[in-house]
């Protein structure tokens, strides 16, 4: 059995438009590529395109934005030429961006689910066409084939999946089991989903659900895993007596796992519901976001992936990981992970494009219908 990991990475400024692009995007992506290349691995960058389009649009009045946009393109060219993949990521708050006194003011909704279907279609098509125009001079076969939504917003919604399918996107990776946001900018709830691990055809109005029939787009959830030790049964029982909803227990178990409203775009911690039925606490799920994990947590992540992959009985199992270039403060865990992956006989690294080819080529069973 082979596990096919995708080292995906959302490449962008911060959700409110702040941050120095040269520092948290350009310098960091180069360093990350060096780390992966030293071990023969290829990353897949979900580049945030609406930010880039706004920089280009306002470059006549603000030459500094034009210079940044040109450097952005140079970096993306360079990364792609070095063998890494580049795919589509959209943060719709950039659609209403204003630039004043060297600062961005982004007043558009952060969630693509809040936009009318025409706007959504335009955003997706514009982003896809921009990337294809940018990269086809380097590689005529380049296609924009995958999507991760900004702030993970993909469901429920009646038109976003249709717009992606219409644009030729092969698969979406915006579902991540356990995510739950109720913040000023984003509301979503992926605590109860039909399939947390394997590819499936989604219901076109709710990507959290498996469809009754094959559809024109596939969902592959981004991996999440339970980290931290669950409380011992006895301790859980004692605490449960003192609380009605388990919320205090959650706080006790997971003091650091809170969604910070102002950083909701990249704060990927979440909690699994208290399981009353079994009466035990409590796993907590976190997105496999490499920028937020120690090497020990990365090993826990891989243990979880191996256990679930073995249970499938499949010859090859695809797994999408996450990263945020802008949040990598320390490259040492990533260096150790890259070495570990390159030496592990059961792990191989694919790009998002490789994964799309495998989906189109029928390499993996795609869940739908009665087996949902």
Binding site residues, Zn ion, CB under 5 A: 10, 12, 150
Minimal distance in Å, beta carbon 1 to Zn ion? Answer: 32
Minimal distance in Å, beta carbon 56 to Zn ion? Answer: 19
Q: Could you give the angle at which helices 28-38 and 332-343 cross, rounded to 10 degrees? A: 30
Minimal distance in Å, beta carbon 148 to Zn ion? Answer: 7
Instruction: Compute and round to an integer the Cα radius of gyration of the chain.
Output: 20
Q: In angstroms, how far apart are the furthest CA atoms of the chain?
A: 66
272 or 326: CB nearest Zn ion:
326
Residue with the shortest CB distance to Zn ion? 10
DSSP structure string for 84-152: -EEEEEE-GGGGGEEEETTEEEE-S-S-GGGS-HHHHHHHHHHHHHHHHHHHTTT-TT----EEEEGGG
Minimal distance in Å, beta carbon 2 to Zn ion? Answer: 29
Coil, strand, or helix at residue 200? strand
92 or 246: CB nearest Zn ion:
92
In angstroms, rounded to a whole number, what is the distance separating the alpha carbons of residues 298 and 227? 10
In order of 152, 172, 219, the CA distances from 213 in angstroms are 24, 17, 14
Minimal distance in Å, beta carbon 220 to Zn ion? Answer: 17
200 or 265: CB nearest Zn ion:
265
17 or 150: CB nearest Zn ion:
150
28 or 300: CB nearest Zn ion:
28
Answer for the pair 15, 264: CB distance below 8 angstroms, yes or no. yes
Residue in the structure block whose two tokens are 């605590």: 191
In order of 30, 221, 282, 324, 352, the CA distances from 319 in angstroms are 24, 8, 24, 17, 10
**Structure-derived torsion over alpha carbons of residues 239, 244, 247, 253, reported in degrees to the nearest 10:** 10
12 or 172: CB nearest Zn ion:
12
Minimal distance in Å, beta carbon 149 to Zn ion? Answer: 8
Minimal distance in Å, beta carbon 327 to Zn ion? Answer: 11
Answer for the pair 28, 328: CB distance below 8 angstroms, yes or no. yes
10 or 257: CB nearest Zn ion:
10
């Amino acid at each position: 059995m082979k596990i096919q990991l995708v080292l995906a990475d959302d490449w962008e400024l911060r959700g409110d438009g702040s941050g120095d692009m040269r520092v948290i995007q350009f310098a960091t992506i180069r360093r990350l590529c060096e780390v992966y290349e030293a071990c023969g691995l290829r990353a897949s960058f979900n580049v945030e395109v609406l930010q880039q389009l706004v920089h280009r649009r306002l470059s006549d009045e603000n030459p500094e934005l034009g210079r940044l946009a040109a450097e952005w393109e140079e970096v993306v060219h360079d990364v792609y030429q070095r063998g890494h993949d580049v795919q589509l990521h959209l943060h719709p708050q950039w659609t209403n961006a204003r630039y004043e006194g060297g600062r961005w003011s982004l007043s558009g909704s952060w969630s693509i689910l809040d936009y009318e279907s025409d706007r959504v279609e335009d955003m997706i098509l514009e982003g896809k066409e921009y990337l294809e125009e940018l990269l086809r001079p380097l590689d005529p076969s380049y296609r924009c084939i995958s999507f991760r939504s900004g702030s993970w917003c993909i469901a429920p919604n009646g038109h976003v999946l249709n717009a992606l399918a219409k644009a030729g996107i092969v698969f979406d990776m915006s579902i991540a089991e356990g995510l739950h946001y109720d913040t000023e900018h984003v509301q979503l709830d992926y605590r109860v989903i039909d399939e947390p691990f394997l590819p499936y055809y989604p219901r076109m109005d709710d990507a959290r659900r498996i469809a009754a029939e094959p559809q024109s787009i596939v969902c592959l959830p981004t991996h999440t895993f339970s980290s931290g030790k669950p409380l011992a049964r006895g301790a859980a029982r004692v605490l449960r007596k003192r609380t009605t909803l388990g919320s205090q227990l959650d706080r006790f178990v997971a003091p650091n796992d809170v969604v910070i409203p102002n950083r909701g775009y990249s704060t990927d911690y979440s909690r699994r519901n208290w399981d009353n039925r079994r009466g035990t606490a409590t796993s907590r799920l976190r997105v496999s976001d490499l920028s937020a994990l120690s090497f020990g947590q990365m090993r826990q992540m891989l243990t979880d992936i191996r256990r679930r992959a073995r249970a499938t009985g499949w010859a090859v199992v695809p797994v999408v990981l996450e990263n945020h270039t802008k949040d990598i403060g320390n490259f040492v865990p990533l260096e150790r992970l890259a070495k570990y992956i390159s030496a592990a006989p059961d792990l191989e690294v694919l790009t998002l494009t490789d994964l799309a080819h495998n989906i189109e080529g029928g390499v993996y069973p795609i869940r739908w219908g009665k087996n949902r």
